[in-house]
Chains A and B, each alone.
Chain A
Amino acid sequence: GAVVSQHPSWVICKSGTSVKIECRSLDFQATTMFWYRQFPKQSLMLMATSNEGSKATYEQGVEKDKFLINHASLTLSTLTVTSAHPEDSSFYICSAPRTFYDSSYNEQFFGPGTRLTVL
Chain B
Amino acid sequence: GENVEQHPSTLSVQEGDSAVIKCTYSDSASNYFPWYKQELGKRPQLIIDIRSNVGEKKDQRIAVTLNKTAKHFSLHITETQPEDSAVYFCAASKNNAGNMLTFGGGTRLMVKP
B41, B89, B96, B104: the one contacting A106 at CB < 8 Å is B96
* Separation of A112 and B44 alpha carbons in the complex (Å): 8
Give the complex CA separation of A85 and B106 in angstroms.
27
A115 to B41, CA, bound (A): 8
Interface size, chain B (Cβ < 8 Å): 19
Query: How distant is the Cα of A83 from the Cα of B43 in the complex, in angstroms?
Result: 26
Using a CB-CB cutoff of 8 Å, which residues 35-49 of chain B contact chain A? 41-44, 46, 49
CB of B5 to closest CB in A, whole Å: 11
What's the Cα separation between A4 and B106 when bound, in Å? 23
Query: Nearest CB to that of A32 among chain B residues?
Result: B98
Task: Evaluate contact between B42 and A46: CB separation under 8 angstroms.
Answer: no
CA distance A53 to B65 in the complex (A): 39
Whether the Cβ atoms of A44 and B44 lie closer than 8 Å is: yes
Most B C-beta atoms less than 10 A away, residue of A32, A42, A108: A108
B84-106: which have CB < 8 Å to A? 89, 96-106
What number of A residues sit within 8 Å (CB to CB) of B? Answer: 23
**Residue A25 at the chain B interface, CB threshold 8 Å:** no
A78: interface (CB < 8 Å): no
- In the complex, chain B residues whose CB is within 8 Å of the CB of A84: none
Do the beta carbons of B46 and A107 come within 8 Å of each other?
yes
B101 & A43 in contact (Cβ 8 Å cutoff): no
Write the nearest CB–CB distance from A96 to chain B, whole angstroms.
Answer: 10
Between A and B, 19 residue pairs with Cβ closer than 8 Å are A32-B98, A42-B105, A42-B106, A43-B89, A43-B103, A43-B104, A45-B103, A46-B101, A91-B41, A93-B44, A95-B101, A97-B98, A106-B96, A107-B49, A107-B97, A108-B97, A110-B44, A113-B41, A113-B43
